[in-house]
Amino acid sequence: MRVLRFRPDGSDLTTLVQNGDFTNPAHKADKTRWCVGIAVDPIHRVMYWTQKGPSKGSQGRIMRAGMDIPRGETASNRSDIEVLFSGLPEPTDLEIDEEKEMLYWCDRGELPLGNTVNCASVARGAENSGGTEIEKMLGYTIVVGGLHEAIGLQLDIKNGFIYASDLGGCVYRVNIDGSGKQKIYEAECAFAGIALV
């Protein structure tokens, strides 16, 4: 229910967004309040996060706000929060290509729009009108589908790849345009995240 910021040593803990009270049982039970994934764009001084909603509920949202709370406002009432996408199956992890202002996210929700990696331009005033008729209607591009409850996402901009992991125990590599999907690892477990080092 919160988006937090702190220094690597754990100091300077600051609540940037608060859309519920975690001590309130009704708020805790409301999965539309749960913040799941986060991506930070230091170039444009904004952050993005997902609120996944209930499992297979198509109530997921992707939000954006500045990295600093506007003067005179609080984490609970800040006026700069934007809903970029709503009605998503169940968005989880996010990555941002800051230079191109392209946001990528994985969605573990129900088919046909879930179990996907998606992208959209988040540049101010951008219109996401390319792709198929359904993508024009959605306002975003489905980069790749056929995942099994995708949760982890990592961009390799330099080499032009997207890496995704899922609860089905697979790690995939896909060209950034969605072509060349490869399962590069599989195990009898569930992967809830991925990082490139």
User: What is the number of domains present in the chain?
Assistant: 1
- Residue pLDDT, tens place only, 92-138: 999 999 999 999 999 987 777 779 999 999 998 766 656 667 777 78
Q: Look up the domain containing 135 and give its range.
A: 2-147
159: CB partners within 8 A, 6+ apart:
none
Over residues 40-48, mean pLDDT: 97
- Tally Cβ neighbours within 10 Å of residue 123: 12
Supply the CATH number for residue 88's domain. 2.120.10.30
Over residues 166-182, mean pLDDT: 96
Over residues 81-98, mean pLDDT: 95
Residue 167 lies in a domain: no
pLDDT of residue 113: 77
pLDDT of residue 11: 97
CA–CA gap between residue 138 and residue 129 (Å, rounded): 9
Residue 174 lies in a domain: no
Which of the two residues, 195 and 137, has the higher pLDDT score? 195
Residue 130 lies in a domain: yes
* Cβ 138 vs Cβ 116: under 8 Å: no
Q: What percent of the chain has pLDDT over 90?
A: 81
Residue 173 lies in a domain: no
Residue 153 lies in a domain: no
* Cβ 152 vs Cβ 95: under 8 Å: no
- Residue pLDDT, tens place only, 24-33: 999 999 999 9
Residue 34 lies in a domain: yes
* Whether pTM exceeds 0.85: yes
Residue 169 lies in a domain: no
The token duo for 116 is 């996907």
Residue 180 lies in a domain: no
CA–CA gap between residue 187 and residue 180 (Å, rounded): 21
